[in-house]
Structure 1
Amino acid sequence: MPLNKAYWENRYQNNEIGWDVGSITTPLKGYIDQIQDKNLKILIPGAGNGYEVDYLLEKGFTNVYVVDLAETPLKNIQERNPDLPKEHLIQKNFFELDDTFDLILEQTFFCALNPELRKDYAAKTHSLLKPGGKIFGLLFDFPLTEAGPPFGGSKEEYLRLFSEKFTIKTLEPAYNSIKPRAGRELFFIFLPK
């Protein structure tokens, strides 16, 4: 089945969202807690129910955007955050997004894409970042599988994919993963070249 809008909407409508842990995860929370500039323009691609949005807004960030193919998770985010401007919730294909951001927060979007799109993801995230921007978040660290999503990947693959367009600041096993993902996540920070 193609991983298109109908596929993802169906997953949300039928509550087939095993990746959804109901809150922000510890590695992302820890990194966000260190960010001083609350005016940074932040994108969360394929955010799903977007608990990271809730946390960012709670911490005083004012410029948070989400892009997702599916309508249901965007509605869920809006219901929980009625003051978030509607134009910050973008229902469209990530690869069609035309804007720039200071930060891109990656959490389970990359691993849900068809692996054939990974090189395109690296190029697109690079084009969406302002000079001095960065992408950070988590990437799964388990063998690539056709049984996804989620699809796995390895540190070696990520280095190959991102090194051309990004300086790899951090790409290490997450020391503070939530229990179900312990030993299966890499925390990363990449800076566009």
Structure 2
Amino acid sequence: PELARRLALGELAPPRRGARALVPGCGRGHDALALARAGWCVTAIDLAPEVRSGLARKLAALGGEFVTGDAFAWRTRRRFALVYEHTFFCAIDPLLRPEWGKLVRRVLARGGRVCAIAFPTNKPRAQGGPPHRMDASALRAALGPGFRIAANTPARARTPGREWMERWVELRR
């Protein structure tokens, strides 16, 4: 819901025609499709092959693509103006978060941004995961130097049924 709200407000409009967005760990692709409908040229990646056929067809019709595979092992020469994060970072083992940061640093264009629904921000760490606790500082730490937190606000349109808090986080390169 928060992504849809921000797209409707024009806050996440592509900076130019053909601007690329990457959605690693896209799951069923709801966010990837929303970004593609808003004009982004989306590449969505997920390990689950069962989501491929329907999502690949829908994204292709909107000028995007779906890649089945490990986002950390995926290689491309393309650079992305946006990396969108929602439930990938919190699903991976926290020990793999530096790999997430390497992926983003490898593909994000200079001046690009990372937008994330940080969830669950208030889950006790002792409860483990997935979903593992995450917040803006965890995203920033995984990215390393050269990134700044540009936004870190409570999500105004929360996902129904979520027990823990969500925040909208934007980091700029």
TM-score normalised by the chain length of structure 1: 0.73
Deviation of the 1:29 alpha carbon? 1.3
Please name the residue that 2:22 is paired with: 43
Please name the residue that 1:28 is paired with: 3
Deviation of the 1:52 alpha carbon? 1.8
Deviation of the 1:78 alpha carbon? 2.7
Question: Which residue type is aligned with residue 69 of structure 1?
Answer: L
Answering whether residue 85 of structure 2 is matched by residue 75 of structure 1, we say no
Question: Which residue type is aligned with residue 32 of structure 1?
Answer: L
Question: Which residue type is aligned with residue 76 of structure 1?
Answer: G
1:67-121 superposed Cα distances (whole Å, 9 cap, x missing partner): 11111122231354562568x2111211122232111111111111111111221
Gaps of 5+ in 1: 1-25
Deviation of the 1:183 alpha carbon? 5.3
Q: Compare 176-185 and 130-139 and name the one that shifted more.
A: 176-185
1:15-164 → structure 2 map (5 Å cutoff): 26-33=1-8, 34=10, 35-36=13-14, 37-59=16-38, 61=39, 63-81=41-59, 83-84=61-62, 88-99=65-76, 100-140=79-119, 141=121, 142-144=123-125, 147-162=128-143, 164=145
Q: Distance in 2 between matches of 1:80 and 1:145?
A: 40
Aligned residues: 165
Distance 1:159 1:172, change over 3 A: farther
Question: Which residue type is aligned with residue 72 of structure 1?
Answer: E
Please name the residue that 2:161 is paired with: 180
Distance 1:117 1:67, change over 3 A: same
Q: Is the 8 A contact 2:140 2:171 kept in 1?
A: no
Q: Compare 172-181 and 112-121 and name the one that shifted more.
A: 172-181
Q: CA RMSD in A?
A: 2.5
Question: Which residue type is aligned with residue 103 of structure 1?
Answer: L
Specify the SS of the correspondent of 1:177. Answer: coil
Q: Distance in 1 between matches of 2:6 and 2:71?
A: 23
Specify the SS of the correspondent of 1:149. Answer: coil
Q: Is the 8 A contact 1:48 1:74 kept in 2?
A: no
Q: Compare 35-44 and 120-129 and name the one that shifted more.
A: 35-44
Q: Distance in 1 between matches of 2:135 and 2:60?
A: 38
Q: Distance in 1 between matches of 2:43 and 2:156?
A: 27
Distance 1:145 1:94, change over 3 A: farther
Distance 1:103 1:143, change over 3 A: same
